[in-house]
Amino acid sequence: MVELQMVTKLRAQTGAGMVDCKKALDESNGDYEKAIEILRKKGEAKATKKMAERQTKEGIVYSYIHSNAKAGVLLELFCETDFVARTDDFKALAHDLAMQIVAMSPEYLSPEQVPAEVLEKEKEVYREQLKSEGKPEAMMEKILEGKLAKFYEENCLLNQAFIKEDKLKVGELIKQMIAKTGEKIEIGKYARFQI
């Protein structure tokens, strides 16, 4: 039998419902970390479904200036309702995303936004590197996939490791907020400025 105290603690940490928290703890035989993972996976599945079905018509424009006053970001963050847009959690997400953009300087939001010519140029550079290293042809495609994944991690905001928790990707961070709020959330445009 799972204790109410653990269910309450799990709910406070994840933002999931009491019933979902109890089910996750039962499913994990009381293993708290495993229960968090179960809730995370279920939340991401729900988030993916919501992303496809709903439209975002509300949100905020968030500005962030780094403490040295030499870099800053303007960011559009969308959600479905004004109610969610005004919550502290939503504003905290906007703040975290803006800090991420200042710190990591992503050129693109997602891999789909990388222009084909940029991708081809990267592949060409990687192929030349691999040839000069004497890598066999049979291995090249596999190595090339890995190098492109690394390129996306460095240059696409949603694929970057979150600066506050490097085991978490920015895209996963947004999915967690979708699971918590029950609304579709997406990044619009952003502009990074630096002196």
pTM of the model: 0.70
Predicted confidence (pLDDT) at residue 104 exceeds the cutoff of 90: yes
Domain that holds residue 68: 58-109+156-194
Q: Are residues 104 and 183 in the same domain?
A: yes
Residues 6+ apart with CB under 8 A from 108: 114, 155, 156, 157
* 66 touches 40 (CB < 8 A): no
Domain containing 47 — which CATH number?
1.10.8.10
Say if residue 44's pLDDT is above 70.
no
pLDDT of residue 10: 75
- Among 168, 126, 172, residue whose Cα is nearest residue 145: 126
Q: What is the CATH number of the domain that holds 100?
A: 3.30.479.20
The dihedrals phi and psi of 27, each to the nearest 5 degrees, come to -65, -30
Lowest mean pLDDT among 129-133, 143-147, 149-153, 154-158: 129-133
Task: Indicate whether 170 and 102 sit together in one domain.
Answer: yes
pLDDT band at 161 (very low <50, low <70, confident <90, very high): very high
CB 126 within 8 A of CB 140: no
Q: Give the CATH number of the domain where residue 141 resides.
A: 1.10.286
Do 15 and 74 belong together in one domain?
Answer: no
